[in-house]
A = this chain, B = another copy of it.
Amino acid sequence: MTETDHDELLDHLREAAGCSGLAVRKAARAVGQLYDDALAPAGIKGTQFSLLAAVGLTSKTSVSALADSLVMDRTTLSRNLQPLVRAGLLKMAPGRDRRERRVALTEEGRSTLRTALPLWRQAQARIADALGEGRAARLRGDLAWLARSVLVKS
């Protein structure tokens, strides 16, 4: 490898520092911390809050349908449900098929959500404070658009 090759690689790496994927993951880590900290008194993580809320919004969904709505692999969701079922916040019931399993909140799950909601609102407000409400809303829109377009194309 010559000196020139090495300098050229450095230039390319500087370009790669502007990676959109890295920007999204960095933000996801930082923001994840914020929500996790805020929700800790309720005993759940940000990921689990979203999952409980998604189940609560769509009564008795199948695992696959839920996974699609969360832009998540079915098998990932299948595993993510387990800690919440174990904790008694979610329950699984048989669906129309004998293959299908429907997910629903337990009473304890609803109770946890009620505890978590004001905590979540605080975290959400911190995000809005950091960016301003307008930029925060625009950001959510761009992220949603991005998730949708990327999936459609592949």
Known contacts: A28-B24, A107-B1. The answer to whether A19 contacts B124 by CB under 8 A is yes
Binds B, one of A81-89, A91-99, A143-151: A143-151
A144 touching B26 by the CB < 8 A rule?
Answer: yes
Residues of B within 8 A of A110 (CB): 1, 9
**Quick check: is A53 within 8 A (CB to CB) of the other chain?**
yes
Contact, CB under 8 Å: B26 / A31: no
Interface size on A, residues (CB 8 A): 68
A30-B146, A150-B31, A154-B34 known; A20+B56 contact, CB < 8 A: no
| Partner of A123 from B14, B21, B71, B120 at Cβ < 8 Å | B21
Name the B residues within 8 Å of A35 (CB-CB).
19, 21
Chain A contact surface mostly? helix
Contact call B56/A10, Cβ cutoff below 8 A: yes
Residues of B near A128 (CB, < 8 A) are: 20
Given contacts A1-B110, A19-B120, A126-B153, 11 further A-B contacts (CB under 8 A): A10-B57, A17-B53, A18-B140, A20-B124, A24-B24, A25-B50, A26-B143, A28-B28, A29-B72, A130-B146, A131-B146
Tell whether, in the assembled complex, residue B32 and residue A25 are in contact, meaning their CB atoms are under 8 Å apart.
Answer: yes
| A23 with B144, Cβ < 8 A, contacts A130-B153, A150-B30, A154-B37 known | yes
